[in-house]
């Protein structure tokens, strides 16, 4: 049995690296509507697409 990397994790890491290297968001190499593209954008943006935004903290 071989240990193959999870493509979703790899695409996410690629997206994070792209942002770190200053590449534009539209440089994603994956086809539209693919799970890999969604994962790439999650890595680029730094958060899962299906996660709701954090609510603002209350002052006081």
pLDDT of 22: 96
The answer to whether position 50 is within a domain reads: no
Per the domain annotation, does 35 fall within a domain?
Answer: yes
Structural domain span for residue 25 = 7-45
Contact predicate 43/15, CB 8 Å: yes
Q: How many domains does the chain have?
A: 1
**CA-based torsion, 51, 26, 31, 15: positive or negative:** negative
Say if 2 falls within a structural domain: no
Residue 60 lies in a domain: no
Dihedral sign, Cα of residue 32, residue 35, residue 40, residue 45: positive
Q: Around 42, how many Cα atoms within 13 Å sit in the side-chain half-sphere?
A: 18
* pLDDT tens per residue, range 20-58: 999 999 999 999 999 999 999 999 998 776 766 667 777
What confidence tier does 8 reach under pLDDT thresholds 50, 70, 90? low
Contact in structure between 44 and 28 (CB atoms under 8 Å):
yes
Tell me how far apart the alpha carbons of residues 3 and 52 are, in angstroms, rounded to a whole number. 32
Question: Is 51 among the domain residues?
Answer: no
Q: Is residue 20 part of a domain?
A: yes
């Amino acid at each position: 049995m071989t240990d193959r990397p999870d493509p979703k994790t790899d695409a996410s890491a690629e997206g994070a690296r792209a942002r770190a290297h200053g590449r534009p968001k539209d440089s994603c190499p994956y086809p539209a509507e693919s799970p890999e593209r969604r994962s790439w954008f999650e890595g680029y943006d730094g958060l899962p697409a299906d996660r709701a935004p954090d609510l603002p903290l209350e002052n006081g």
